[in-house]
Structure 1
C-alpha cells in the first residue's frame, strides 16, 4: 500500500506537538510527505533534510516562511491543490486545513486531529479583538471570511474516513464542530530529552509561544502581585507587551535553545500554565523532569495532571479556576501549602503514560484496524455489484 502524509506547514519555527506526531509517524510508516509550505527539507538540522516534499503555491508568496497564516483565506484553496490520487492511504496531521486534501472514494483517509481550526471556532472573538483586521470595515470582511472558513471546515471534515483526537477534550470539540466520533490517541512526548531532578530551585517557570490565548499576561499579573520569582521562556507577538507589564521579580528570557529550556524545566519549583490547551505537551515535559504543575483547570490538562487535593497519594500539581489572575494567585498560595506532598517521582510516573512507544503501538493498531475495515467494506461493495 502507498501512503501519503499531509501536514499544514513545515518550518524551523514549527516544533510543537503536531510536528512530533509527524516525526513519529514517519519513523514507522514509509510515506511521501505533503504540506502547504516546506522549509525543513532544506534545513540541515531537520529530520526532513533532503527529503522530497510536495508543496503548494503558497511556498512562493512573500513572507510565507515566517507565517503562512497571514494568507488564511487562501489556505483551503491551497490544500485542495495537493494531488494525492496515487496513494492508497492518506494520513493527515491537521490543526487547520490538512484534513481538507481531496481524495477519491477508493482511498482511505485517517486524520490525526490536534484541534479543529482554533481561529475559526473557539478563538474567533479572541482573534478579532487582538487583530486590527477585526475592527471597522476590515472587521466586517474578516467576520465574513471566518464564517465561510467554518463552512469549508465542516465540509472538509466529511472527506475524512476516521478521526483520531489527541485528547478527550479535542474529541469533544471534534464532535461539537463536525458531529464526528474519534479515537483518542495521546501524542508522543520525547521524555528522554528532559532530565529528572528531584531537588528544585526557588523559581517558577512558564514556557510557551507568547500569543494571547496562552494567557501569559495573566501569569505576569498574578506574579506581580505575589512578588515570587518567575522565569518566562518564549517568543511571540506579545513579548514586548509582557516585558512592559512584568516587575523586577519576573525574568523574561525570550526564545531559548532546547538545552536551556530543559535545564530550567528540571530546576523549577513549579511549571505554571494558564492556557486551555487541547493537549498541552509542555505540561507532560515538565512532569518528566519531576516538576509539579500549576495549571488552569480545563482542556487537556485534566488528562495529564492530577490535583494533589483530589489525589493525595500520587498528585502532580494544583489546578486553578476560573482563568483569572486572582484564581492563579490563590492557586500558587495553595501550592506552597501542598508542595511537600507532591512527589517528583509521581510527576515523572505521570509523564511516562505519554511515551513515543505507547503512541506507536496505539496508532499502528488503529491504522491496521481501519485498513482491515476499509478492505472488508470495499470487498462487500464489489461482491454485491457482481
Structure 2
C-alpha cells in the first residue's frame, strides 16, 4: 500500500523537519560529483563527428525538462554549437556552462534573460533572422519559437516539446488571466504568433514529438506527422534505495513498516509553481486530508500557494538532483496534478520505485500504468485528488515492478533512438 495517514513515524518527522527549517538533506563531499548532470556521462565517440550539426533552443535560463533534453542531444553531437534566444547560464549546472552557447540579438536587451517570457512576441523575428549556413543538420529543441530559425541547405529536424501552449491550447486560459483592458491587444498578438508559428512549422523537414499526446497536437495545429521519441531520464542515477530494491510489494508487513520508517511518511509534489501545473489542487486536497506534503520547486505562484497551505504542507524550493533523489526515495508517492506534454517527474519517481498519483490526461497516460506503477484521477479537483490518495493507500505497489517500467525511458534509449532517427533522416 502507499501507506496510512499518520505522521508519528520518526523518519517522516525528520523529513518534514528539513522542510520546516528550509534546509534540504545534507550532501556528503564524496557525492558532489553526482550533482553535475553531464559529469555522470562520459562523452561518446560520436558516429556523427564528421557531420556539421547545430542545435537551437528557445532559451537557457532556469533548468527544466526541455533543457535536460538539450543536454542529451548535445551528448550525441558534442561538437555542435547551441543557438538560443537568450541565456543566463549562471544558475544552471556546470555542464551548460561548457556548451558553445550563442544568443540572438535579444540578448543585448538589458535584463533580457530575467524577462525572457515577456520577449516571446519578438522571438519569432529573432530566430527567423538567425541564418544558419554551412550546416548539414540543424536540430531545434522547441516549445516556443526556436524552430523559426532559417536553415538554408541543412536538414531541419525539430524535437517538439509542445506547440506553443499560450498561442494554441492554453490561449483562453492565458487571456482570462489578463486584465480586461489588455485582452484585445493580447488576442491580436496571439493570432500573430499562431500565424508565425504555422509558417515556421511548414519549413521544418521532420518533427520528433516528445509523446503521442504532443504528436496529436502537432498533427492538429501544424498538419504534420511526427515520430515519437520520449525524453530521457537518467535511470542509472534515479534508483531506489538498496533496501527498497530488495523489498516485496508494499503491503503492511513488519519489514515493510521498517522500510516505511526509512522512507518517511509524506507525499511529494515536484513542479514549477506556475498556474497550469495545478499545484493549487494538491495544496487544497492535502489541506483537507491532513497528510504531510512536501512541495519541491519555485515560481510566481509560490507566495499564493504558501498562503493557502496548512502547517503540514512544506515548500523546500529548488533542489539538486541528489537531494531530489533522496526525497523521491523516501516519499510514499508522488502527486502529479498537472496536464503535461510528457512530464519527467513521474518517470524519475518511478525509477526510484515510487508510485505516482496523476491526473489522467496528457503525457502521464504514456508513462504511468494504472494499478501497476500508480493510479489516475479523473479531474483536476481537490475532491478527485483526495479520493485518489485514499484509494492509492488501499492499493498494493511493487517497487521493483515500478522500477522495471521506468527503465524503458532511459537516457541510453533516447540517445540510440536519436542516432537512428538522424542517420535515417540524412541517408540518401
Task: Check whether TM > 0.5.
Answer: yes
Q: From 122, 127, 151, give the equivalent of 2:169.
A: 122
- Within 5 A, what are the aligned runs for 1:230-241? 230-241=293-304
Return 24-33 or 290-299, whichever deviates more. Answer: 24-33
Q: From 114, 117, 139, give the equivalent of 1:66.
A: 114
CA distance in structure 2 between the aligned counterparts of 1:283 and 1:78, rounded to whole angstroms: 34
Equivalent pair of 2:215/2:228 in contact (CA under 8 Å): yes
- Within 5 A, what are the aligned runs for 1:236-251? 236-251=299-314
Provide the secondary structure at the position in 2 that maps to 1:142. helix
Provide the secondary structure at the position in 1 that maps to 2:316. strand
Q: From 40, 52, 73, give the equivalent of 1:25.
A: 73
Deviations 1:226-267 (A, max 9, x none): 111111111101101001100122112222333222211110
Report deviation, 1:51: 4.0
CA distance in structure 2 between the aligned counterparts of 1:136 and 1:370, rounded to whole angstroms: 47
CA distance in structure 1 between the aligned counterparts of 2:115 and 2:384, rounded to whole angstroms: 34
- Within 5 A, what are the aligned runs for 1:222-301? 222-301=285-364
Equivalent pair of 1:205/1:232 in contact (CA under 8 Å): yes
Equivalent pair of 1:43/1:49 in contact (CA under 8 Å): no
CA gap of 1:155–1:44, structure 2 versus 1, over 3 A, is: closer
Tell me which residue corresponds to 1:143. 187
Report deviation, 1:66: 2.0
Report deviation, 1:136: 2.6
Deviations 1:205-240 (A, max 9, x none): 001100000000011111111111111111101101
Q: From 229, 237, 241, give the equivalent of 1:193.
A: 237
Consecutive aligned runs of 4 or more in structure 1 exceeding 3 Å deviation: 42-45
Tell me which residue corresponds to 2:385. 328
CA distance in structure 1 between the aligned counterparts of 2:331 and 2:412, rounded to whole angstroms: 27
2:138 matched to 1:83?
A: no
CA distance in structure 2 between the aligned counterparts of 1:52 and 1:344, rounded to whole angstroms: 40
Provide the secondary structure at the position in 2 that maps to 1:177. helix
CA distance in structure 2 between the aligned counterparts of 1:352 and 1:7, rounded to whole angstroms: 27
Tell me which residue corresponds to 1:213. 276
Deviations 1:348-386 (A, max 9, x none): 1111010111111111101111111xx3xxxxxxxxxxx
State the Cα RMSD in Å: 1.5
CA gap of 1:142–1:318, structure 2 versus 1, over 3 A, is: same
> TM-score, normalising length from structure 1?
0.89
Q: From 105, 130, 136, give the equivalent of 1:57.
A: 105
Report deviation, 1:45: 4.3
Report deviation, 1:48: 3.4
CA gap of 1:344–1:50, structure 2 versus 1, over 3 A, is: closer
Q: Which has the higher contact order (CA 8 A, sep 6+)?
A: 2
Deviations 1:284-308 (A, max 9, x none): 0011111110000011101110111
Q: Gapped runs of 5+ residues in structure 1? A: 309-314, 376-386
CA distance in structure 2 between the aligned counterparts of 1:316 and 1:51, rounded to whole angstroms: 36
Report deviation, 1:87: 1.1
Report deviation, 1:20: 1.6
Equivalent pair of 1:54/1:82 in contact (CA under 8 Å): no
Number of residue-to-residue matches in the alignment: 358
Tell me which residue corresponds to 2:223. 179
Return 78-87 or 356-365, whichever deviates more. Answer: 78-87
2:56 matched to 1:6?
A: yes
CA gap of 1:23–1:195, structure 2 versus 1, over 3 A, is: same
CA distance in structure 2 between the aligned counterparts of 1:76 and 1:270, rounded to whole angstroms: 40
CA gap of 1:162–1:231, structure 2 versus 1, over 3 A, is: same
Equivalent pair of 1:239/1:254 in contact (CA under 8 Å): no
Provide the secondary structure at the position in 2 that maps to 1:206. strand
Q: Gapped runs of 5+ residues in structure 2? A: 1-50, 245-258
CA distance in structure 2 between the aligned counterparts of 1:268 and 1:318, rounded to whole angstroms: 16
Provide the secondary structure at the position in 2 that maps to 1:93. strand
Provide the secondary structure at the position in 1 that maps to 2:81. strand
- Within 5 A, what are the aligned runs for 1:335-350? 335-338=392-395, 341-350=396-405
Return 346-355 or 63-72, whichever deviates more. Answer: 63-72
Equivalent pair of 2:81/2:99 in contact (CA under 8 Å): no
Provide the secondary structure at the position in 1 that maps to 2:97. coil
